[in-house]
Homo-oligomer: A and B are copies of this chain.
Amino acid sequence: MKILVLNPNTSVTMTAEIDAAARSAAAPGTHIVSTQPNFGAAAIDSAAESYLSAVGVMDVVATQLAAGTFDADAVVLAGFGEHGKDALQEMLDVPVLDIAESSAHIAHLIGRRFSVVTTLARSIAPIEDRLLLAGLGAHCASVRACGLGTAEVDADPAGAVAAIVAEAERAVTDDGADVICLGCAGMAGVTAAIAEKVGVPAVDGVAAAVGLAQMLVGLGLSTSKAGVYAAGPGNARTHWPLSQALGT
């Protein structure tokens, strides 16, 4: 089984981290291929960067489809709360999993109330929105921010661990969470620290999405094409795929 893992920002360092997290969750026989958009932002900390990243991952997939090189059995969109998953579900027949919804689903299976610990405070609202739209907000105790931007988490892993663990502790004590979801693709290394120091399970979204992707492929299930995820009507487009027009 081949899983295409899409880092929605343009940072190749982040892609490498995500790739490692995905591989650690892959079963024997699962082939992980990770990549990132050909244009856009090096980190996603705003609505504008989120839209840009959505078009960036659409562009990666559209380019592969146009070239006839798309052969993944499932796609993992490794951005926590970014948009674009529904567009990929329209474009593809294989399952598409994003890391925000995936970790929330797993949190439901192993606890009663989960909290998300994300990067900056400005990302709290879009994550709450994503959970609300996905129908997964009722058991969310809180979405909390550790105060470090995506790039800072990337640059200072040790400091990030301390900040995230501290916030996870508050989520458990003040908000009543019994599971923590790590609200950023670059946080995979923190799960052990949370389990040890806070005493609750922590869910890494990339591992969660890879695990759920493998499960869906194993069960022979994929996105329903009878509803909102049916292929679009194909209105005329200019400059699409953009990366081709850009010559990247």
Contact = CB atoms under 8 A, between A and B. Distances in A.
Contact of A39 (B42, B120, B135, B242): B242
B42 A235 contact: yes
Contacts of A246: 239, 242, 245-246
A132 interface: yes
A184 to B, nearest CB: 14
Contacts of A17: none
A210 to B, nearest CB: 9
Interface string A182-212: 0000000000000000011101000110011
Contacts of A125: 112, 227-228
A121 to B, nearest CB: 9
A95 interface: yes
Contacts of A47: 86-87, 89-90, 228, 232
Interface residues of A, number: 94
A159 interface: no
Interface in A125-156: 125-126, 129, 132-139, 149-151
A41 interface: yes
Interface in A35-49: 39-49
Chain B CB within 10 A, most for which of A58, A136, A216, A235: A235
A214 B101 CA distance: 19
Contact of A236 (B41, B58, B212): B41
Interface string A224-248: 1011111011011111101001101
A203 B91 CA distance: 22
A229 to B, nearest CB: 7
A109 B120 contact: no
A226 B178 contact: yes
Given A58-B51, A87-B48, A122-B228, A109 B212 contact: yes
Given A178-B229, A200-B226, 7 more contacts: A40-B238, A42-B237, A46-B90, A83-B83, A101-B109, A108-B136, A122-B232
